[in-house]
Amino acid sequence: MTSVVYPKLIRGFCNPKSLRRWEIGVRARLPDHYKQRKIRIAKAIMNGADTPVHYEKEPGLWKEGHHPDTVLPVQNRPIPLIFPAEADQGLWGGEGIIKGYVQRRHRAARAPKIWVPHFREAILYSEILDKHLKITVTDRAWQLIDDAFGLDSYILQTPEEDLNSNLALKLKQRMLEALMDKSLYPNDAEKREKIYNKYKKYITYSREEVEWLGLSEEEAIEKQEELEKQRSKPRPLKEIFTEELIAKLKIGEQ
């Protein structure tokens, strides 16, 4: 018999109280699409809306109890997972670290136990980027990449709450930028069109959304502060007068 204790998530981003920080300070001034995406991912993980990996969801609302003529409510409570910093540097495929207790014999004392995914170093090829990448993956992520017939399809078609990795989002950003700019295979026009047509259905983001897609929270804050610094920087009068003169000349030509 195994009993699991529900620990506090290491990623404060998944703590309900931490969602309010997006309404304070520089975080409140980040682009709405960036904040909404981060909050959506956090809520999905907290509420178990991401794909279940470590448990199976029971169907329906009620189930038969242990005693005759009794019914119990179905409670699909997700198992809280621990995601260390290393999770952002690899592809874990929805797996995480579970901290709990195991009871090996009836009435025996429970012993603490930590369940850790099995990892491997994999060399993965990206068709869009035309590069081989050395990435730490779990067995499940390896299987999901195989099921998707390649790294590109896995990264582009998997919901962000299931990717749950900064590395995955940065790869997604680079892939989408290459597709939008059509900068893939610059020396092979035929292959460029072939790969572009294969993956163009995933271009469902705006240019600005892609620009912010692969940024971690710290990187997004740094970018926002730099943008605000540039906006508040006074412009030389020479530039302003030059622009006004050009505008007047254009009107005169019309």
Scanning the structure block, which residue is given the tokens 């790869």? 171
Q: Letter for the amino acid at 112?
A: P
- The pLDDT value recorded for residue 106 is 78
Residue 242 lies in a domain: no
Query: Is residue 111 one of the residues assigned to a domain?
Result: yes
Residue that has been written with the tokens 């999905």 in this structure? 44
- Please check whether residue 99 lies inside any domain of the structure: yes
| Range(s) of the domain holding residue 92 | 2-55+68-222
Domain assignment of residue 246, yes or no: no
**pLDDT of res. 174:** 96
Between CA 54 and CA 51 the distance in angstroms is 10
Decide if 135 is inside a domain: yes
pLDDT of 18-57, one tens digit each?
677 888 888 889 999 999 888 888 777 776 656 778 777 8
CA 211 to chain centre: 14
Residue 252 lies in a domain: no
Residue 231 located in a structural domain: no
Domain count, the chain: 1
Q: pLDDT tens for residues 168-186?
A: 999 999 999 999 999 999 9
Domain assignment present for 141? yes
